[in-house]
Amino acid sequence: MLEKIRIRAWIKPLNNNEILLWNDTGTARIRVTCNSDLLASLPCGSLVEITGKIGINGICIEFVKLIHRPIREDLACVEHVPEDPLEYTLRHHIYVRRPEVLKAVKTYFHVVNYMRTFLVKRGFVELPTVVLGHASDPGLRGASKVAVELYGRPFELQSSVIMYKQLYASVLDKVFYVAKNVRLEPPEMAFTGRHLVEFTQVDVECADSTSDELIRLGEVALYKTVKHVVNKHGELLGDREIERIELEVSAPPYPRLTYDEAIREALKMGINVRQGQELTFEAEAAIANKYGSPVWIVGFPSRSRGFYYIEDPERPGYNVDYNLLLPSGHGEVLDGGCREYAYERVVESIVKRHGESPEKYRWFLELLEAGLIRPTCGWGLGVERLVKYLQGLKHIAYATPHPRIPGIIGP
């Protein structure tokens, strides 16, 4: 029995009266059983609406409406997404119609959309992201901030919304941003597979909270977001990725290692790490792979991080902070901690740890002097890194709708 259909898609004529149709849902190779001449004169990449009847033998075309005819078939009808992330980044606009690219874009949307719902249901208020500021986060793990001049004065593109989070959490108790951040990574970081110059974080901050509470919030948010994508949008992932994810992302709580324990684990595995410095990317990946699940690293050395972390009163020289690592080689996906709110200690940290003038952070220091910054804890979850994990991608350039990797800025 033939079924009446109407399909809107791009087409590629094939041999033996077959056509390849593709749209945002994927591709389909279909045999044309009658009236194939209606498509014969159309160039590859034409956007059409086909009306006809389809059965087990193929489609009988009744009518073709041409919506758009490309001028250049070589641009309209590319078949493969480049495996080289640098080439892809430079010309990703040519490949955005490919189903494999759109799967990542849609996964990005569902991750952000679900996390918004998750946080709002728990009483969080969303605020608009910040682009420009007098000063941004200096704790960037080897990256630099981007300076710009406006009206004859220096400003910085925001590398994180950390100080804004502290301000508004002090007033509203629970806040979050879907924040766009810009960090000038060294060009060699283009090859790590996990670094972008422009990226998105779901940035959360809570007043009068504890690290345990924020760790619990973070792992539940990750778990529920992953389960939502797998259960409701599994067609974007495929059976192989779903099987991997279900094996690795079980219900929390997840294992916790102190920084010192993580250093010892890495050294046992023969990985070169140095006490007092950030874990290497190799160490992060190896530790998470060993556990085969998300794993927390807590209590990093104070000298290795930004001025806004509070020192652990029970472990001088270590912060009250935490990172969440993903297995299968993907590494850190969430970074957070509890914030310093004492004026004198913040000023001392700005000078000693970062060698910067406190004047640069005057607006934030005024809030501290006035006692308007409450104790807060929070975290930022990298959206593109989570999409990369869900899709099983080798490079993060393929996990964002607008790839900008170190040294290579796409359109």
Predicted local distance difference test score (pLDDT) of residue 136: 86
**Residues near 115 by Cβ (< 8 Å), separated by ≥ 6?**
202, 221, 225, 381
Q: Which residues of the chain have pLDDT under 70?
A: 138-140, 354
The CATH number of 90-409 is: 3.30.930.10
Distance, in Å, from the CA atom of 73 to the CA atom of 82, rounded to the nearest integer, reads 18
Q: Right CATH number for 3-77 from 2.40.50.140, 3.30.590.20, 2.20.25.10, 3.30.420.40?
A: 2.40.50.140
Q: What stretch(es) of the chain map to CATH 3.30.930.10? A: 90-409
Closest to 365 (Cα-Cα) out of 220, 167, 216, 222: 167
**CA atoms lying within 13 Å on the CB side of residue 77:** 20
What pLDDT digit, counting tens, does each position of 39-61 carry?
A: 888 999 999 999 999 998 999 99
Predicted local distance difference test score (pLDDT) of residue 352: 74
Q: What stretch(es) of the chain map to CATH 2.40.50.140? A: 3-77
Cα dihedral 140, 272, 193, 146, rounded to 10, equals 20
**Residues near 169 by Cβ (< 8 Å), separated by ≥ 6?**
175, 205, 206, 207, 374, 376, 378
Predicted local distance difference test score (pLDDT) of residue 351: 81
Predicted local distance difference test score (pLDDT) of residue 16: 81
The 10 Å CB-count burial string (b at 16+, else e) for 194-203 is: bbbbbbbbbb
Predicted local distance difference test score (pLDDT) of residue 100: 92
Closest to 127 (Cα-Cα) out of 90, 76, 163: 163
Distance, in Å, from the CA atom of 364 to the CA atom of 137, rounded to the nearest integer, reads 12
**Plot region of 62 (φ>0 → left; ψ -120 to 50 → alpha; else → beta):** alpha
Predicted local distance difference test score (pLDDT) of residue 187: 94
Distance, in Å, from the CA atom of 205 to the CA atom of 172, rounded to the nearest integer, reads 10
